[in-house]
Amino acid sequence: MLKALTCPLDEDLAPLAQFLRSRGVVHRIAEERGEQVIWVVDEASAQIVRSLYEQGVDSLPRASEAPRAPSPAAQFWRQAHRLIPVTLGVLLITAVVALLTGLGTDVRQVVMFTFTPLEPSGYLAEQPDMTQWWRLITPIFLHFGVMHLAFNALWYWELGRRIEMRSGGLWLLGLTLLIGLVSNTAQWLWSGNSSLFGGLSGVLYGLLGYCWLYQKLAPNVFFDLPRGVIIMMLAWLVLCMTGLVTLLGFGAIANAAHVSGFAAGCLIGAVAGALQRQRQVQ
């Protein structure tokens, strides 16, 4: 759970607790180190608790008299642009690129985001052009088809917002760029230096590995992914590597991006989780 606020032990929080219960805000009030601590399940609920506390506990209307407060979900969406700006920003860029490229059907637009630029001969260059350094990252925004886009966007939303709410937007941005660089480079090297590839999936497997290893070393409510989800994603990774998915007509799979992204994410998650665990012990 997430600590919303602390207050003196002698302060009567009964009106606040009653109001929160009447509005369906899941919370727990505990005594810790001579103070009262209010715990909630997410940042949206924490914002509600802090706002109500700042208004004054005694001024809260009784549950029978109070107008219905917005649900925690409604509160979250109102503040999403402040809580998870990087998650939303990456998804917005991905959507814009999907529109510009016609989901990968407009070749003239697609080559603007490929790992290597287009040569006058009409083929992709065999080596990256470091004067166009952004191409090392931009393939993560390319998607080929609605299902490809929808699957990756949903998973980036799920994993990205967890990391951003736990560790902040700059950390998520750094992870996205670093894992994107690793997975894009690995796929380019593996696929013969001049093939066309794209998608957020390498980054997604990196974020999955990060959350998984971090959670094992320093458990927290944000990275507590269902065991079945992790098994499903790893099973899909192995299935794609067998080549069966491609044979069934689902298109070419960027296996090198998936594996390298996952490995990078696991490494970063292990280091970050170990450091956090050490801080908790101290």
Judged against a pLDDT cut of 90, whether residue 118 lies above it is answered with: no
Distance between CA 204 and CA 183 in Å, rounded?
A: 10
Q: Check residues 98 and 27 and name the one with the higher pLDDT.
A: 98
Kindly give, in sequence order, each residue whose CB lies less than 8 Å from that of residue 155, ignoring residues fewer than 6 positions away.
200, 204
SS3 21: helix
Mean pLDDT computed over 28-43: 83
Mean pLDDT computed over 142-162: 93
Instruction: Parse the chain into domains and list their residue ranges.
Output: 2-76, 84-281
Given this model, what pLDDT does residue 282 score? 64
Mean pLDDT computed over 28-57: 81
SS3 200: coil
Considering 45, 183, 258, 260, which one is annotated as catalytic? 258
Q: Check residues 10 and 179 and name the one with the higher pLDDT.
A: 179
Q: What is the average pLDDT score of the chain?
A: 85
Nearest to 199 by CA among 267, 149, 146, 272: 149
Q: Check residues 204 and 127 and name the one with the higher pLDDT.
A: 204
Distance between CA 29 and CA 36 in Å, rounded?
A: 7
Considering 45, 183, 201, 260, which one is annotated as catalytic? 201
Query: Token pair of 31, please?
Result: 């005594």
Neighbours of 213 (CB within 10 A): 21
**pLDDT tens, 82-117?**
778 999 999 999 999 999 999 989 989 999 999 998
Distance between CA 166 and CA 164 in Å, rounded?
A: 5
Confidence of residue 65 (pLDDT cuts 50, 70, 90): very low
Query: Token pair of 91, please?
Result: 């998804």
Given this model, what pLDDT does residue 80 score? 66
Confidence of residue 174 (pLDDT cuts 50, 70, 90): very high
Is 258 catalytic? The answer is yes
Q: Which fold has domain 84-281?
A: Rhomboid-like fold (1.20.1540)
Judged against a pLDDT cut of 70, whether residue 181 lies above it is answered with: yes
Distance between CA 115 and CA 162 in Å, rounded?
A: 29
Distance between CA 15 and CA 20 in Å, rounded?
A: 9
What are φ and ψ of residue 173, in 5° steps?
A: -60, -45
Report the side by side order of strands in the sheet with 35-40: 2-8, 35-40, 27-32
Is 81 catalytic? The answer is no
**pLDDT tens, 218-260?**
988 888 888 888 899 999 888 888 877 777 666 678 889 999 9
